Structure 1
Amino acid sequence: MLSEGKVLFSKDDNCYLYDLKITDNFYLFLDEKNDTVLRIYEQDNILQTSISSCRSSEKDKLWKPLFTKEIHAETEDIAYLVDNNTYYKAITLDANNSNMKINTIKPLKQRNMFSRDFNITTKETFGIPISRDTKCPFYFFNPDSGYYWVDPSPALEKKMPNDVFSYTNTICLNESQNTIVSAYRFTNHVSFYGLDGTLKTTVKFGETPVIPITTSDPNKIDIRNTSKCFTYICGTAKYVYCLYEGSSDFTNQSKIVVFQWDGKHINTWQADRNLQAIAVDKNDKYILAISRNKNDGQDIIRYYLSVH
């Protein structure tokens, strides 16, 4: 079970934190609303920002960053992101002097494929296109061979409406496990693939299948009134953590559904409030979460985990 959530700090409505990462000594947050696009806190001194970065298009700065979701079990105080859909970058932190260095690892060379949920491996870039026009849950890309679009689970495809937005999802990759996981927003299913795009298994969370509601047009889903299922995903070397909503309007207390990388369901935890995004430390000891608060701002909450 989860411990009772402890609010570490709060932000008012001048900020909108949309993603987070945990390293050995720091918490990192990305801010969509403020010119301070990156905020970093020392874990043993969370009452004030230790390091920050203002939005800039300079090479060693950040413009429109997204943390990548692939697993880096061996890293200590390094976080990885894709900036402006163009560059794969590393943020290297020094716990001794609170210094930060942003280095460009490589350009992605994806031309105009604007994407989210980037997962970068030694060979390919995995992602989800922002403008969805296919049922494919994700693609992988190599500059030499181009794009490969991965098919959805045939069993899931039989249940879903034809609207491609039925397949809205979020992904997380573990290269050492040869697995990428796709958790779906409008259905309570999670698919596990090999890195070559081969489907390994699809599992259903809960007893009753959740299928998107359609409008008067049976080929269009009613996004507003359809239950939201998996809204966020992250992982560690051992487990993949899926944030589950369960309501149509984001009013439920969130659940955190835990799987092994082979698709075995390990645990389900009930949070004490609705959560927007989560990160887990690499030793699977605690969860850090972003949650809306009653003052139109956001709280940063820590939950300690029981043994899986």
Structure 2
Amino acid sequence: MNFIKVLWVANVLFILGTSSCSPSLKNGFELIDPQEALTLRSEMFLSDEKVTNVFYDIAIMDTFVIFADYFSDSIIQIHSLNTPGRIIKSLYRGNGPNEFISPYFNKSVPPHYQTEELGFIDLNARKLGSVRLKENRRNIHSENLPAAFPFCTDLNRTEDYSYGIDTDINSKSMFFIWDNKKEQLIKGIPFYPTLKKDYPEEAHSFLYSGHLCVNEKTESIVMVMLNLNMVHFYSLKGEINKSYVIGKQLNSPDVASKFLDFPKDNKYFTDICGTDKFVYCLYNGTNKHDGSSEIFVFNWNNTFVKKLQLNNPLQKIIVDKSDKYLLGININTEGGTEVVRFLLKD
């Protein structure tokens, strides 16, 4: 073992407790600190010049782009992908039997673009919903969530299973796996890694919070961390395959923080999305919200591919199925949101 490798191993062991080692992760964490990045310039896709929008989620499906909106009565807006200013259909807040309050779109790969049906979850309404877009029919379906289904973010729902990040402050897991047919929890995936710093137990669910993307075809789950500069690759059974640290060392929040969610500390990964080929991880790395974002791109074989440097601070991202372009939600100076586009291929 050469001198540099000895220093690296010593640094990891200094930061982590001995219990952080996993039998399936023999070589520890791989450090990623790319000095070069592909710089991308944005173009306006949809502005709020005429109508104030406060979009908080986004999805692409066939010839449509779909937004969830905090501000408008049209809580879900379906726009033409080729003519973004054209609204094809809106789902209105409190409208009829399919009433929704704050829906979030299914993040799994590939259902968000390979079918004509977009799924979403609304935890406040305790409902699962879907919008079917086919020819001139745009049917809305909803069903009540099972009583035992966890309150979660980042729902990734496949035919048989659901994966999500439990938002309960007493949660003991990074994410959970749910059996859709038996309507029962299979298991929660334990917090990882174990840190030497003695964080209060009630802060753990915030410390290990992040974002999740599932690709059933490649039997992979990727979780990126908000308060730790880490990316984890798991099997569909929740077994960890590989972990990356972004930068020269593992960083973690101030253990003396007065707030459980560490608002003054650096925030690292703020969103994730995937296609058949790649997973795109939106990275901030500071405690500011107005700096330009970066995107770390991996393939589904757990391998780092490249870093993208953007010229906008983005909150949410989505990539089309051919990996040709990326759409991102950007908060403007007036407090509304704009949608910008970045070309990924010439």
- TM-score (ref. length: structure 1): 0.88
CA spacing shift, 1:110–1:306, aligned 2, 3 Å: farther
CA spacing shift, 1:134–1:83, aligned 2, 3 Å: closer
CA spacing shift, 1:144–1:17, aligned 2, 3 Å: closer
- Cα deviation for residue 91 of structure 1 reads 1.5
1:177 equivalent to 2:218? Answer yes
CA spacing shift, 1:177–1:61, aligned 2, 3 Å: same
How many residue pairs end up in the alignment? 300
Asked whether the equivalents of residues 61 and 102 of structure 1 are also in contact (C-alpha less than 8 Å), the reply is no
The amino acid of 2:104's aligned partner reads: L
The amino acid of 1:298's aligned partner reads: T
CA spacing shift, 1:51–1:123, aligned 2, 3 Å: same
Match of 2:313 in 1: 274
1:91 equivalent to 2:131? Answer yes
CA spacing shift, 1:145–1:26, aligned 2, 3 Å: closer
Match of 1:131 in 2: 168
Structure 1: how far apart are the matches of 2:64 and 2:210? 28
1:36 equivalent to 2:74? Answer yes
Structure 2: how far apart are the matches of 1:21 and 1:256? 18
1:111 equivalent to 2:148? Answer yes
Match of 2:268 among 221, 229, 235: 229
- Cα deviation for residue 11 of structure 1 reads 2.4
Correspondence 1:1-308 to 2 at 5 A: 1=38, 3-11=40-48, 14-56=52-94, 58-60=96-98, 62-72=100-110, 75-84=114-123, 86-94=126-134, 97=136, 99-104=137-142, 107-111=144-148, 113-142=150-179, 143=182, 145-153=184-192, 156-158=193-195, 161-162=198-199, 163-164=203-204, 165-215=206-256, 223-306=262-345
Structure 1 runs of 4+ off > 6 angstroms? none
Structure 1: how far apart are the matches of 2:132 and 2:183? 29
Q: Secondary structure at the match of 2:121?
A: strand
- Deviations for 1:21-78, whole angstroms, at most 9, x for unmatched residues? 0112011000122221011111121223222110136444533311011112672543
The amino acid of 1:139's aligned partner reads: F
Over the aligned positions, Cα root-mean-square deviation in angstroms equals: 2.4
Asked whether the equivalents of residues 229 and 250 of structure 2 are also in contact (C-alpha less than 8 Å), the reply is yes
The amino acid of 1:45's aligned partner reads: T
Structure 2: how far apart are the matches of 1:57 and 1:112? 25
- Deviations for 1:149-194, whole angstroms, at most 9, x for unmatched residues? 10133xx223565330211111110111111111000111011111
Asked whether the equivalents of residues 77 and 91 of structure 2 are also in contact (C-alpha less than 8 Å), the reply is yes
Structure 1: how far apart are the matches of 2:197 and 2:87? 45
The amino acid of 1:157's aligned partner reads: T
The amino acid of 1:33's aligned partner reads: F
- Any gaps of 5 or more consecutive residues in structure 2? 1-37
Structure 1: how far apart are the matches of 2:308 and 2:93? 36
Query: Bigger shift: 84-93 or 268-277?
Result: 84-93
